[in-house]
Amino acid sequence: MLNDYTDVTAAFVTEVTDEAVRNADELIDQVVGAAPTYDGILGRMQEAAAVVADASGRGAFMARVHPDRAVRNAATEAEERLITWSTDLVFRRDLYEALQRFATSGEAATLTGERKRLLEHTLRDFQRAGHHLDDVARTELQRLRRRLVELEVEFGRNLDEWDDGLELSRDQLAGLPDQYVDGLRAVGEDVYRVSMAYPDYIPFMKQAHDRELRRALQHKFWNRADELNRPLLEEAVRLRIDIARILGWSTWAEFAMDVKMAGSPKAVDDFYDSVVPGLTDKARNELAVMGDVEPIRGDIDEVRSWDTTYLDNLQRLRDYGIDHNEVAAYFPLEAVVGGMFEVTGDVFGLSYERIAESRAWHPDVALYAISNHGSSEPVAYFYADLFPRDGKYGHAAAFSVTYGRANPDGTYSKPVAAIVANFTKPTAAAPSLLKHDEALTLWHEFGHILHFCLTTAEVHRFSGYETEWDFVEAPSQIMENWMWEPEVLRRFARHYETGEPIPADLVARLVAARDLNVGLFTMRQVYLGMLDLGMHAVTEAPDLMDVYRRAYEYTLLPFHEGTFFPAGFGHLMGGYDAGYYGYLWARVYGDDMFSEFARLGLTSPEVGARYRTEVLARGGTRDAADMVRAFLGREPSTQAFLERLGIPPAAG
């Protein structure tokens, strides 16, 4: 059943949340007094969790997308309340005792497959909530976890609501195309506002000729919500250390990674040790070349952070003849979406249909049904909210609306997800034209959508992308590979005015330039991972500015003085704490899995069916490493990943 968001009000969000909490509490109360059976204990607990998750999709999700600030504020409060409810659940002693009664029952001993895994994971959740501790310690632990939820929600709200930018004349926008300027908000005669939204910020940093203005805009961007969010982040880091200590762990990273693929900070350190030296050498060489690019050579003493994407853009034009605006002309949003549907439809046996009446939260939002080939019955739905608005989530992400799972009455709730992004909005003169990296972002996020929507999991706990957090990016990383394949690009990339397919020569140059400065930009990923670990792989609360400065050294660039980027780095408070390394970690598995398509057929339905069955449909019902082995038919390897980065494998 699809939700109707057309008349959502702040009062509605609150009402939905109140009702969900009441219903979920009733179910949990029934669990406490139930006989020790699967249906009475685990089944009912999953039903309660699904009630809360559905309410989040109906109400709390509006904090990210609704155009009405009052609704967003109510939804933020709802989000905090629902997360707190879920967090508190594992601290209930009566629920833990009911679970223990079932765990020692005869029926529990006969569980297999997903149900056995559910029992194991649920017991683990309660153990990690400190039920081995005394009442005083457990109460303090619950208080800290509640406060952490408050901080994380407030941090995200501050970022979503942050509004800053530069007001510039057309002359100051030299280097930017007319279509970009047409999409800016005019704030006076010949005066335009360049905001912090990605469609404003990223092209400006790539193409604006005025170096000082690039520095000024980056300075603002790297200080988003600093005054509001820095103290929240500092407190969150302290709380995480305290929580880990109470539970008997040395660091938050050890506690968090215990349930991830990596297993421990040592495994992540080893991973970085295997790639950072080669990447560092590569990045140094790239920086030396970048500093010699006209018209910069001789104008500055060294490349700075506000120069890198601009110089990279000049290099692509100089060395490969790639003009991002020329490339974008072949990637109108509608064609990119159509190509994405065509390719994934062929590979995974899917059909897509746009629903005429979306009943969404904004007129720009489209709703699509996903069906299996030859079937008129959808298996899932997803919303596409792709253009920026004031107060909207500022990046690109996939959000859950309804989890796929088996219901007590024997029916199956169809998954519903939402892809939220901020691409340039169409104008009267031109459609939304995507830079190639924006098209990559769209395909990346669609990987999350497919992972969520193609689930066959029985229970909410393992549905969709509810897998190990350092694997969750692999099904999205793999999607990016198709956007570099000439035979794929030629299927849908057409000029928005002439309809001519993208020239083979342009595709060849685009692909040839794929790994230009890959070392430098991958080292930025390393820096962000090290920033995260510097805050969370420690036994005492660190000076966050010191952590920021030390981690930034991995970029090989001079520090941008007067900035505090972590205050605007939502991942630190959005689930990737002690887990940001997962982006690079997951690329290993994404590249390795894509090697099967490269070996047997880029759009092979046979490989696609195997990948859908063994990975996408599984969700969290098996360990991620086992899913990858089942798909590959061998042990995972770093070979494809290292070849992609141009790093020779370590000897030995």
Q: What is the per-residue pLDDT for 354?
A: 97
pLDDT tens profile 113-144: 999 999 999 999 999 999 999 999 999 999 99
Q: What is the per-residue pLDDT for 575?
A: 87
Nearest-5° Cα angle at 209, 203 to 212: 100
Q: Quote the pTM value.
A: 0.91
Instruction: Evaluate whether 473 touches 587 at the Cβ level (below 8 Å).
Output: yes
Which H or E run contains 191? strand 191-195
Instruction: Please give the average per-residue pLDDT across 253-268, as a whole number.
Output: 96
Burial class from Cβ neighbours inside 10 Å (0-12, 13-18, 19+) for residue 573 reads buried
Number of H helices, E strands in the chain: 27, 10
pLDDT tens profile 380-392: 999 999 999 988 9
> What 3-state DSSP class applies to 366?
strand
Instruction: Evaluate whether 596 touches 631 at the Cβ level (below 8 Å).
Output: yes
Task: Compute the distance between CA of residue 564 and CA of residue 545 in angstroms, rounded to an integer.
Answer: 7
Within 8 A by CB and 6+ apart from 143, the residues are none
Secondary-structure percent of the chain, ordered helix, strand, coil, rounded to 5: 60, 10, 35
**Residue 652 pLDDT class (50, 70, 90 cuts):** very low
Task: Compute the distance between CA of residue 75 and CA of residue 56 in angstroms, rounded to an integer.
Answer: 9
Q: What is the per-residue pLDDT for 321?
A: 93
Within 8 A by CB and 6+ apart from 362, the residues are 65, 66, 67, 385, 389
Nearest-5° Cα angle at 70, 67 to 71: 60
> What 3-state DSSP class applies to 129?
coil
pLDDT tens profile 565-612: 999 999 999 889 999 999 999 999 999 999 999 999 999 999 999 999
Catalytic option among 254, 445, 458, 485: 445
Whose structure tokens read 């939002």? 365
The reply to whether 614 belongs to the active site is no
Nearest CA among 325, 429, 431 for reference residue 386:
431
Cα-based distances in Å from 425 to 334, 359, 389: 12, 20, 10
Nearest-5° Cα angle at 58, 55 to 59: 80
Instruction: Please give the average per-residue pLDDT across 217-240, as a whole number.
Output: 98
Instruction: Please give the average per-residue pLDDT across 31-57, as a whole number.
Output: 96
Phi, psi of 410 (to 5 degrees): 95, -10
pLDDT tens profile 513-540: 998 999 999 999 999 999 999 999 999 9
